[in-house]
Amino acid sequence: ALVMCPNPFYQIYEGAAYLSGAQPYFVNSDANRNFAPDYSNVPENVWARVKLLYLCSPGNPTGAVLTLDDWKELFALSDRYGFIIAADECYSEIYFKPEAPLGSLEAAHRLGRDGYPRLITFSSLSKRSNVPGMRSGFVAGDASILKKFLLYRTYHGAAMSPSVQSASIAAWNDETHVAENRAKYITKFQQVTPLLQEVLDVSLPDAGFYLWAKVDKCTTLSDVDFAKCLYAEYNVTVLPGSYLARDAHGINPGQQRIRMALVAEVDECLEAAHRIVKFVHGLQNQ
């Protein structure tokens, strides 16, 4: 069996595939479409073996958001080959446009897919409320799948303490802090992105809190060496893009890119951006 994963991706999808006894199959993202996965070149014999397809929208690390047409294509493939779509939507409430990103359940509803066949979606307080340590989330979608998932979760899951449950309830029921959190991210991206654009190939993502920057225009260093030197010389941590992807179909789509998480306060993010600019200028003057 195959578990289809976007590439680049959040590595837990790959680990989940191996833990289930399946093999991951990586679908490279299309840089011309803000790194949304490109399923057009997947062979028929591969689709026939796919049991589960992981998708992240807004994407980690790219921030790409799927359109209604993208979802329509995926639902048609799921109908044809019978695989389950697992939609990771943990970044759905961090966005920069007036309207929220289109989610999988909303897309299914718009397309008249009553009961959300073979579709489940995951969400979490981690990004929405900046509380990753609480491990509070939910899964929703196809009731027949959720019935089995509940049985699995009963035997393999860990229960929250009452205090964490109470804090989770408070966070899920409050939208004010979510709007304030989103406004902070908008401020950070508005101030940091133009600074970094002076030295890196980077642009505002559709959503999420990452900048996905290309570094090969400013240096001959690999993305790994870029990250190492930046940390050693300026004490700024970024993640090499090649660590967030796998070699697939002849390329590693994360190569020569870095992921920057704008999760600190505004002043700290600005300080990091200024240090990155100095670091790149230093590379160019060598």
Q: Please state the domain extents for the chain.
A: 2-172, 176-284
Q: What is the pLDDT of residues 140-197, one digit of tens each?
A: 999 999 999 999 999 988 888 999 999 999 999 999 999 999 999 999 999 999 999 9
Higher-confidence residue of 133 and 195: namely 195
pLDDT score, position 127 = 95
Coil, strand, or helix at residue 157? coil
**Tokens in use for 195?**
């600074």
Which strands, in side-by-side order, build the sheet including 210-214? 210-214, 257-261, 239-240
Domain 2-172 in this protein, CATH class: alpha beta
Kindly report the pTM of this predicted structure. Answer: 0.94
What DSSP string describes 186-255?
HHHHHHHHHHHHTTSB----SBSSEEEEE-TTT-SS-HHHHHHHHHHHH----EEGGGGS--BTTB-TTT
Q: Is the pLDDT of residue 33 over 80?
A: no
Could you tell me where the DSSP H helices lie in 132-202? 143-156, 162-172, 176-197
Length of the chain as a residue count: 286
| 280 in Cβ contact with 200 (< 8 Å) | yes
For residue 143, the model assigns a pLDDT of 98
pLDDT value of residue 117: 98
The residues, any chain, with a CB within 8 Å of residue 45's CB and separated by 6 or more, are none
Mean pLDDT taken over the chain: 95
Over 80: is that where the pLDDT of 34 sits?
no
Peptide bond before residue 58 is cis, with ω within 30 degrees of 0:
yes
pLDDT at 12: 94
Mean pLDDT (whole number) for 190-215: 95
Share of residues in the chain with pLDDT > 70 (%):
100
Angle in degrees, CA 182, 187, 190, rounded to 5: 120
Same fold, 2-172 and 176-284: no
3-state helix, strand, coil in the chain (%, to 5): 45, 20, 35
Q: How far does CA 38 lie from the centroid of its chain?
A: 16
pLDDT at 159: 85
Using N-to-C axis directions, what is the helix angle for 176-197 and 266-284, rounded to 10°? 20
d(CA 286, CA 281): 9
Q: How many Cβ atoms from other residues are within 10 Å of residue 207's Cβ? A: 23
- Could you tell me the fold of the domain covering 176-284? Aspartate Aminotransferase, domain 1 (3.90.1150)
